[in-house]
Amino acid sequence: MNDQMAAYLRNLCNIFDIPVSSTSVNPDIAVHVLSKMYLVPTIKSEDERTRVLNEIRANLAGIYDPYSVFAFKTAQLASMMIILPHWYDHTNEDTDVLVEQYRSISFATRSLGVIAVGTGGGAVVAGVVETSKTGSPVEGLKKTAGRLAGRGPAGEELQRRMGLKFGARFAARASGVLAVGSTVLYHRGIERMEEIKAVLMHRYQSGQMTDDQFRRVFSEIPNPEDIQKYWEM
């Protein structure tokens, strides 16, 4: 695999929270599978998403052990895309919209750092998250918690995400009634910022994002030209 495709694969793995090391068996197949899965959330029909994802993941047969990390992670990803496609709205959102979402959430989380989570901060995050659609995954979790119970990889992935951010006791309740409060919204805001940055880095390296848009999100990188585009590698 050349440097261009390796960078593309790395960004896809960052977007979907999949260890790059898990793709080592066959990186070419991995990038083929993940690049196609990237577009699945745009499919409106749950039945059609299921059919397409089954066809995409069929490419792993005979190459990746079904119990391998990559096979397992893509199974979790597929289950989440089927049940909670809105969790991945950011992957196909307009770049300007994503930049503004990022900046809005960043402002909200900075505000919480000053006024403290659990006081009035929840209202700040809730307002920003709702207006920027960042709250849709959390709302989706509340509405579909019952459907996720016992759904195998989807339920496991949901519990993993909740446990990673909020602790094991919270994760244990993930398939039941979710109490979404200020702390949850704060941590979800932080997580969403990282998700948006992963998508935008991919867009910048593929030439779909301007230097000005890049600077508004990646303030820690003062010179966008230091980031190579895929075709420059």
Per mean pLDDT, which of 175-179, 184-188, 215-219 is the most reliable?
Answer: 215-219
Predicted confidence (pLDDT) per residue in 38-87, tens digit = 989 888 899 999 999 999 999 999 999 999 999 999 999 999 899 888 88
Helix (H) and strand (E) counts for the chain? 11, 0
* Three-state SS annotation for 183-218: HHHHHHHHHHHHHHHHHHHHHHHCCCCCHHHHHHHC
Q: Of 8-17, 67-76, 167-176, give the lowest mean pLDDT range.
A: 167-176
More confident residue, 64 or 223: 64
Which pLDDT belongs to residue 170? Answer: 43
CB of 159 within 8 A of CB of 175? Answer: yes
pLDDT at 118 over 60: no
pLDDT at 31 over 90: yes
CB of 183 within 8 A of CB of 126? Answer: no
pLDDT at 137 over 80: no
Query: Mean pLDDT, to the nearest integer, of 9-34?
Result: 93
CB of 138 within 8 A of CB of 180? Answer: yes
Which pLDDT belongs to residue 160? Answer: 54
Per mean pLDDT, which of 52-66, 137-151, 208-222 is the most reliable?
Answer: 52-66
Task: Kindly report the number of other CB atoms within 10 A of residue 172's CB atom.
Answer: 12
More confident residue, 100 or 135: 100
Of the candidates 185, 170, 180, the residue with the CA atom closest to the CA atom of residue 112: 185
Provide the token pair at 169. 């006791």
Q: What are the residues whose beta carbons fall under 8 Å from the beta carbon of 159, sequence distance 6 or more?
A: 171, 172, 174, 175
Confidence of residue 168 (pLDDT cuts 50, 70, 90): very low
More confident residue, 97 or 120: 97
Query: Mean pLDDT, to the nearest integer, of 97-121?
Result: 67
Which pLDDT belongs to residue 229? Answer: 86
